[in-house]
Structure 1
Amino acid sequence: MNSYTAQKAYYSQKIEETPDWEMAGLFADEGITGTSMKKRKEFNCMITACKRGRIDLILTKSLSRFARNTVDCLEIVRMLKARGIGVIFEKENINTLTVSSEFLITLFSGFAQAESESLSTNVGLGIRMAMKDGKVNFHYNTMLGYRKGEDGKPEIVPEEAQVIRRIYQRYLDGCSEGQIAKELDREGTPTAKGVKAWSHQVVHSILCNEKYIGDALLQKTYVTDCINKQVKKNNGELPQYYIENNHPAIIPRNIYQQVREEMTRRASKRKVMQKSGKTEQGKYSGKYALSEKLICGECGTPYKRCTWARNGEKRIVWRCISRLEFGKKYCHESPTMPEDKLQSAILTVLNRAARQNSEFHDEVLDIVCAAKCGPQDSTVDLLAMERRLEELTEQQNRLLDRVLANMADTTLTDQLKELADEKQALTDAISAAKADALRKANQESRVEEFREFIAQNSQGFTQYDDEVVRKMVERITVIDAETILVRLRDSDVEIEQTVC
């Protein structure tokens, strides 16, 4: 017999023993929470029935079954009492219609709340101990790309993994998060089960989720307490645990790192219009590739796409933002560039690069070689520094024992401080070396991808394409009305081209 059936039989018998009573209903919630009224469907139905005058008296087994939040309990009891409705708590032998009932309710509900808080604390400690031991909980309903395998561990869903890979690639192609979301919505790409529709927030969370590289960061958020149940982002209030290689990866680490770098680059850009002074950078735009790549050779300000209308004819041109905003105050001679001629000149440069003339080919080979050699040399230095760090740690432990045995010896104390300073400097150097090795490895990966893209398009391009420009071009400098200088991505190669 379950709890609901047992309570129904119990109170049915009490009604039979009291002929002048009539049962208005039995209200019993599942054991989810007693500290909040939001999820207590049956309890709220009972309160509604009271407000409509259908209940005169409430029988409750104990106060902890009624509510475990002292404030809520008192508010509800006072509201019912004002309507002449009493609540009888059998275990505590309290009738809320009596004079002394409120003091007793405060006392016993406080005990019930304290019990819930203690239980919540113990559960939280258990969860944090599990995190410390490396146990990762997956929310499969709201996470695209993974499902629970037969062994209970995460396994990749091939169809969903393709969507994840596409999102990362489209972002690196230059698309904004909003553009990616619109593409997926337009094509009817299914979302995760717990997600209603694609949005730039959903795309952003996928791009920032370390689980797609096989890792897991635990305790990103935490619940403040069991009463308010407010979820907050963990900004150092509680320890976090990072688990590497916890499950199969969908995204390679170098691609994930490139996305993070691209996010940082886009976030660092300022608005293109600033009336207070000279504009140096443009806000990232996913609409036109030239919005962030076309730069004025005189003042270094980005160019902006404009529409000119003369004699009933519209014409698309690109103009220096500083010249548009401040006239000739900062920029005196920046030319206006017609879009069609500009795109034609850029297309010519891309075709020259795609055909791999000897100068460009040799430059790429030199960069690839430097990128490959860099991490190997740094690996040797890194291993040496890590061995030295282990030696310093052992020396520090031995010296610490001597210091504890002779606290008055200032010489030992000074030696211990020197070791600690050297250890800290070495730790910082190791972190910097790892970051540098990762940067070089990412550069190598980008150059290899660049070469593969050029190899795939060795016959050249038939028309201008913003995505191709984002893949191949780092910056385009406007020298004058007839000349531009195109710098290719991940290289020092700059190609001068005439605009005509």
Structure 2
Amino acid sequence: MRLSAVSGVGGSKSLPLFAPETGVGLRVEKRSFKRCGDIYRRTYWNNRGKKSTVWRCVTRLEEGPKGCTSRTISEEDLHTAVAEAFNQVLCGGESMIAILRENIESVVCESNEQAIANIDKEMEEKQMELISYANSGKDYENLADEIQALSERKQTILTEEAESQGEQDRIIEMMEFIEKHADQSLDYDEELVRLLVEKTTIFENNVVVRFKSGIEVEV
């Protein structure tokens, strides 16, 4: 089992996704295995009257083994793996919190207030110039393009700031979780999964849980 932390944080989703390992052309016991990378779906098995809940790749459910050969995982095993990932994070304690603090520093960007103010000032000047051109019958197409480019640059800066703040919030949530549950052993908790887990990837021999804070745990 390996515990690792990454500084980059991908776009989060409202619900955790269970996805199979991707890869084509792997050979095991002379059989060709294809893993499509699609999400997993909760479904039911009825084996000789014994019912069980499992998670299977959507492509395999719809197309069979020809579409994907990713393994099926029982819901019990999946929940056990996710709970183990949570407990591995908790075992990290202060060292894990230190890693998360470093992650926060990596996504904190300097204030862009001055950059936005400069763009606003330049846009205002060019808009006044455009009005002057229009009133005198001059071609103002290039000026209009420049104003549009400035507007797009401003929007990019604002979007990056919002994303950075969102990443910081997710990391802080994980730090608070670790501090609150220190020295505890947790069972699977659906509410915690929805709050903290970005996705769970199913591999042939292991499961990787990626938290919204950027931490990845291999079980």
TM-score under structure 2 length normalisation: 0.76
The CA deviation at 1:357 is 5.0
Q: Is the 2:109–2:164 contact (alpha carbons within 8 Å) kept by the matching residues of 1?
A: no
What is the match of residue 395 of structure 1?
129
* Alignment CA distance shift 1:452-1:372 (3 Å): same
Equivalent positions of 1:195-206 (< 5 A) are: none
What is the match of residue 345 of structure 1?
81
The gaps in structure 1 that reach 5 residues or longer are: 1-260, 267-288, 408-412
What is the match of residue 171 of structure 2?
447
> What CA distance in whole angstroms lies between the structure 2 residues aligned with 1:300 and 1:465?
25
What is the match of residue 302 of structure 1?
39
| Secondary structure, aligned partner of 2:68 | coil
The CA deviation at 1:304 is 2.2
Q: Which of 105, 108, 114 is equivalent to 1:372?
A: 108
Partner AA of 1:337 in structure 2? I
Deviations 1:72-131 (A, max 9, x none): xxxxxxxxxxxxxxxxxxxxxxxxxxxxxxxxxxxxxxxxxxxxxxxxxxxxxxxxxxxx
What is the match of residue 496 of structure 1?
218
> What CA distance in whole angstroms lies between the structure 1 residues aligned with 2:134 and 2:74?
73
> What CA distance in whole angstroms lies between the structure 1 residues aligned with 2:66 and 2:46?
25
Partner AA of 1:483 in structure 2? N
What is the match of residue 381 of structure 1?
115
* Alignment CA distance shift 1:418-1:462 (3 Å): closer
Q: Is the 2:93–2:178 contact (alpha carbons within 8 Å) kept by the matching residues of 1?
A: no
Q: Which of 309, 318, 323 is equivalent to 2:55?
A: 318
Partner AA of 1:353 in structure 2? V
> What CA distance in whole angstroms lies between the structure 1 residues aligned with 2:94 and 2:186?
22
> What CA distance in whole angstroms lies between the structure 1 residues aligned with 2:186 and 2:166?
30
Percent identity between the aligned chains?
26
What is the match of residue 4 of structure 1?
none
Deviations 1:459-487 (A, max 9, x none): 3343111111112211111111x311111
> What CA distance in whole angstroms lies between the structure 1 residues aligned with 2:179 and 2:158?
32
Q: Which of 67, 73, 82 is equivalent to 1:330?
A: 67
> What CA distance in whole angstroms lies between the structure 2 residues aligned with 1:338 and 1:428?
48
Q: Which of 457, 462, 467 is equivalent to 2:191?
A: 467
> What CA distance in whole angstroms lies between the structure 1 residues aligned with 2:61 and 2:121?
59
> What CA distance in whole angstroms lies between the structure 1 residues aligned with 2:43 and 2:156?
44
Higher relative contact order (CA 8 A, sep 6+): 2
> What CA distance in whole angstroms lies between the structure 2 residues aligned with 1:349 and 1:450?
13
* Alignment CA distance shift 1:471-1:459 (3 Å): farther
* Alignment CA distance shift 1:320-1:396 (3 Å): closer
> What CA distance in whole angstroms lies between the structure 2 residues aligned with 1:396 and 1:462?
64
What is the match of residue 27 of structure 2?
none
* Alignment CA distance shift 1:306-1:386 (3 Å): same
- Larger Rg computed on CA atoms: 1
What is the match of residue 436 of structure 1?
160
* Alignment CA distance shift 1:318-1:477 (3 Å): same
Partner AA of 2:172 in structure 1? E
What is the match of residue 28 of structure 1?
none
Q: Is the 1:350–1:460 contact (alpha carbons within 8 Å) kept by the matching residues of 2?
A: no
Partner AA of 1:349 in structure 2? A
Equivalent positions of 1:58-457 (< 5 A) are: 292-297=16-21, 298-332=35-69, 334-356=70-92, 360-374=96-110, 376=111, 378-400=112-134, 403=136, 407=137, 413-414=138-139, 416-457=140-181
What is the match of residue 478 of structure 1?
202
> What CA distance in whole angstroms lies between the structure 1 residues aligned with 2:41 and 2:129?
61
The CA deviation at 1:300 is 1.0
RMSD between aligned alpha carbons? 2.6
Partner AA of 2:85 in structure 1? V
* Alignment CA distance shift 1:427-1:312 (3 Å): closer
User: How many aligned positions are there?
Assistant: 196
| Secondary structure, aligned partner of 1:330 | coil
